[in-house]
Amino acid sequence: MSDYKVPVRDMQFVREEVLDFPALWQRLPGCEEVNAELVAAIYAAVAKLCEEEIAPLWRSGDEEGCTWSPEGVRTPAGFKEAYAKYMEGGWPALTGPVEYGGQGLPPSLESVLNEFVGSANWGWSMYPFLAKGGRLTITAHASEELKKIYLPKTVSGEWTATMCLTEAHAGTDLGLLRTRADPQADGSYSINGTKIFISSGEHDLAENIVHIVLARLPDAPPGTKGISLFAVPKRLPDAAGNAGAANGVSCGSLEHKMGIHGNATAVINFDNARGFLLGEPNRGLNAMFTFMNIARIGTAVQGVAHSERALQGAVRYARDRLQMRSLSGPKNPGGAADPIIVHPDVRRMLLTIKAFAEGTRLLIQYLAREVDIAYLAEDPAERQCGEDMLALLTPIAKAFCTEVGFEAASLGIQVLGGHGYIREWGMEQNLRDARIAMIYEGTNGVQAIDLLGRKVLASQGAVLVPHLQRIGAFCRDCAEEPALQPFVQPLAALVAEWEQITREIGTRTRKDPEEMGAAAFDYLMYAGYVTLAYLWARAVRVASAALAAGTAETDFYQAKLQTAAFYYQKILPRTRTLVATMATGAGALMAMSEQAFLLE
């Protein structure tokens, strides 16, 4: 058994009380049979799997890592058995299409599964999670013939998937990629090239791996407009749809990484491998965004996972560790010292972690609600509204959740002091595992440019306005509720400020394009802090109502009010610094010559 405990009650609070998924599902087609009993059973079953099978492999998987050989990659001891249990429980098929063997449950339930399993063991979780992204990409862009071959196996979890984007010389600039796709007489393509940083790229958990690969056709135009997308299986399906002969796909090596040692991050070589076109020729990057946007939300979940890990480990330690006396007098007079949880600075760290863990959980589930709307709503206008909200919030969630998740992991080490820096307590592994999240699926700087440049300014604010209007309407709706005044008044002021900041940056950018890039990261973090403030205010409204109604869970709801107050008083003021730095413009960033950065 692991000491990680799945936060089922908090997830219920977020989804059933604050965001009211039950009411949403009542009006979405295909959700009629989803009831409280079913959802509770899902929570309980996932919790059992995570706590008994997956979490106990977290540390051992980190210490053992994956092993490369010419015959393939072996995952750490226990990983394969845990994956078998994951499949036995039907978890890969949870939200898969019924016609291909899936259970057809609302897509938002994936976010619950992702958080619980990811918090239990992030390295392990990446194997099944990437498979879902591949499945959705095939669903959206493959021919009917390819869907019939690949979807039953990826829905069941018998086959996993990867996303093969970058190459050693390209990094984030996918327009530089060189992998070639040459048309063959049978309609397939011969894929040749090498991809790096491929998470779950080779392993022994499943019988086949479907690589989703970006490559160029021989006559492709240069840059990103000349990229196509292909499904390239490790083993070619036979006539019965099972994994058959080996394809020209091999793992050249495994990366030696800072963290997530239990996941195989591979160099994948394609040598005359047969691939199958997904979507239209030279439109592959557009199709790959189906996978990338799913992966970006999944990466945002990683921030929640590391915050939750930090919270559980740090609180347990702070309750037990005796050190010094409280400044206001002994709190443990029968002991040699007081537990460190009584000290203000320790509480500062613990409450910061708690505010981020529970706040980012709210944000992820807020996105998940929009996913259900975008996928399932009958009204095209409502679906489009959901898609627009996801377009705005996905880069915010990916970058903000991973930034504060890493901060929470770092604070978790600090609470434990010297014990946090050594392996036995697990806090240093949590920090190592967390660091990659700010890099992959588009660095957080790239997310910031996507948010401010491609979404907000390019739409002249049209994508942003519905989000601000929603927050503003909430503030007006709560204007007469005394318990909400300390929250909605500053929140309403921030909404007005957010609009003003956007206009000012837009004006400066029209004069100098560098102004957008200079402001982008601070703008994204500002957006994250304000959006979290909105969601914490919604949580306060629910918690206040529960307390007023005489709930038996007084401590639970009171803690929500206290955490929200801490967030507003001690964390939200960070927006003041961000406003100041955004106002300074690009001058200080761009003035120095390239040579002056390092004078020898």
Phi, psi values for residue 269, rounded to 5°: -100, 135
144-156 helix and 122-141 helix, angle to the nearest 10 degrees: 160
Size of the chain, expressed as the number of residues it contains:
600
Phi-psi category of residue 569: left, alpha or beta, with phi > 0 → left and psi -120 to 50 → alpha: alpha
Q: Angle 516-512-599 (CA atoms, 0-180°, nearest 5)?
A: 85
What is the amino acid identity at position 126?
M
Angle ∠(414,296,52) on CA atoms, nearest 5: 60
Between the CA of residue 485 and those of 69, 351, 482, 542, 560, what are the distances in Å?
62, 22, 5, 14, 16
What's the CA gap between 375 and 321, in Å, rounded? 48
Please state, as a whole number, how many other Cβ atoms lie within 10 Å of the Cβ of residue 590.
Answer: 12
Structure token pair of residue 578: 């961000």
**Cβ-based neighbour number of residue 445 at 10 Å:** 16
- Smallest Cα–Cα separation from 574: which of 526, 535, 527? 526
* Spatial distance between the Cα atoms of 532 and 464, rounded to a whole number of angstroms: 16
Q: Which of 307, 302, 299 is nearest to 427 (CA)?
A: 307
Contact call for residues 494 and 566 (beta carbons, < 8 A): no
The encoded tokens of residue 544 equal 């206040």
Region at 441 (left for phi over 0; alpha for psi -120 to 50; beta for the rest): left
d(CA 451, CA 399): 10
**Gap between the Cα atoms of 452 and 467, Å rounded:** 14
Q: DSSP string of 548-589? A: HTT-S-HHHHHHHHHHHHHIIIIITTHHHHHHHHHHT-SHHH
Q: Output the CA–CA distances (angstroms, integers) from residue 536 to 244, 377, 560, in the order listed.
A: 52, 26, 8
370, 407, 441, 515: which is the annotated catalytic residue?
A: 441
Q: How far is CA 562 from the centre of its chain?
A: 26
Q: Which two tokens stand for residue 449?
A: 């440019």
37 is catalytic: no
3-class SS string, 142-188? CCHHHHHHHHHHHHHCCEEEEEECCCCCCCCCHHHCCCEEEECCCCC
Distance (Å, rounded) from C-alpha 523 to C-alpha 530? Answer: 11
279: nearest Cα among 199, 181, 209: 181
Instruction: Report how far residue 292's alpha carbon sits from residue 257's, in angstroms, rounded to the nearest whole number.
Output: 22
For 22, residues 6+ apart whose C-beta sits below 8 A from its C-beta are: 16, 35, 36
Enumerate the active-site residues.
441
